[in-house]
Amino acid sequence: MTDHFRFVHITDTHIMAGGAWRMRGTDVDFDTDASLRRVVDTVRRLDPAPAFAVLGGDLTSPDLLHRDRVLEPTEYASSYMRLKEILAGLPCPAHYLMGNHDNLEAFNRALRPQAAKDAPAYYGFDHGGMHFVALDSHEPGHADGMLDAAQFAWLERDLAARRAAATIVFVHHHPWPLGHAWMDTMQLRNGADLMSLLGRHAQVRWLIGGHVHSEQVIQRGALTMLTTPSTCIQLAKVGGPVHFEPGPPGFRVVDVDDGRLSSYVVYVR
């Protein structure tokens, strides 16, 4: 038995302190701070309120302001501080995932100050009789994702120890192709290995991801993956001269009732 509770999945916030996201192929500058503030304001109006939020990766991306070079961890610090300041408005605690635009050292310093600066950002937590797993698919210097051997070994142990608890896994990159040619060049490279591992643990029935800046539902056997749109720019699902569209900002609400899920996406117009 599990309790009734609600959580929200908020992803691809792409905070870049001191700048705006120039959408490639356009002359549009998108203010990712302002759009996240609108999402947080909307989350505050949810009734019932969420028990917690999961931030699904690509939390900051000052790298998009400097595409010509690799940034130092210290150059991410002001963006993580800005993120924390905006998320302080949430009505609930938050759990954080890494995305391909994040920096592990800056992420740990800002969001997990008790952790070593190079501590891996994968972990589990429990709520209301359910188990939750946050994976770290970030590989420095790569837009696509990867889970290393140590993370697979940890995940196997974590799930084996909690076979009785219905489990939701969060991961930034999509482990299956979405059918979107450009985005499918940036998926989780060893997604098949993840699916094989999860397939041996029947208590895992849902994955929730970000990265694709769009709302998707994908099912393979007993596993259902939900993806959540970004809080800023969205992927254009129909091909055209540009890959992205300027909003609307979105996030996902998940209601859990005795191990069953209901979920919807809210767009902030």
Please choose, out of 40-48, 100-108, 176-184, 216-224, the segment that lies near Fe ion by the rule CB under 5 A: 100-108
- Name, in order, each residue with C-beta under 8 angstroms of 248's C-beta and a sequence gap of 6 or more: 234, 267, 268, 269
100 forms part of the interface with Fe ion (CB under 5 A): yes
- Token pair belonging to 167: 């489990």
Nearest-approach distance from CB 100 to Fe ion, in angstroms: 4
Please choose, out of 32-40, 54-62, 117-125, 253-261, the segment that lies near Fe ion by the rule CB under 5 A: 54-62
Please choose, out of 43-51, 78-86, 94-102, 235-243, the segment that lies near Fe ion by the rule CB under 5 A: 94-102
Closer by beta carbon to Fe ion, 100 or else 108: 100
Give the separation between CA 128 and CA 51, rounded to whole angstroms. 10
Nearest-approach distance from CB 108 to Fe ion, in angstroms: 19
Query: How many chain residues are in contact with Fe ion, going by CB under 5 A?
Result: 5
211 forms part of the interface with Fe ion (CB under 5 A): yes
99 forms part of the interface with Fe ion (CB under 5 A): yes
Please choose, out of 46-54, 82-90, 92-100, 217-225, the segment that lies near Fe ion by the rule CB under 5 A: 92-100
| Helix and strand totals (H; E) in the chain | 5, 15
63 forms part of the interface with Fe ion (CB under 5 A): no
> Phi and psi (nearest 5°) for 44?
-65, -20
Between the two ends of the chain, the Cα-to-Cα distance in Å is: 37
Asked whether the bond before 177 is cis by omega within 30 degrees of 0, the reply is no
Closer by beta carbon to Fe ion, 8 or else 166: 8
Give the separation between CA 127 and CA 231, rounded to whole angstroms. 25
Element (H, E) at 4: strand 4-10
62 forms part of the interface with Fe ion (CB under 5 A): no
Residues that bind Fe ion (CB under 5 A): 12, 58, 99-100, 211
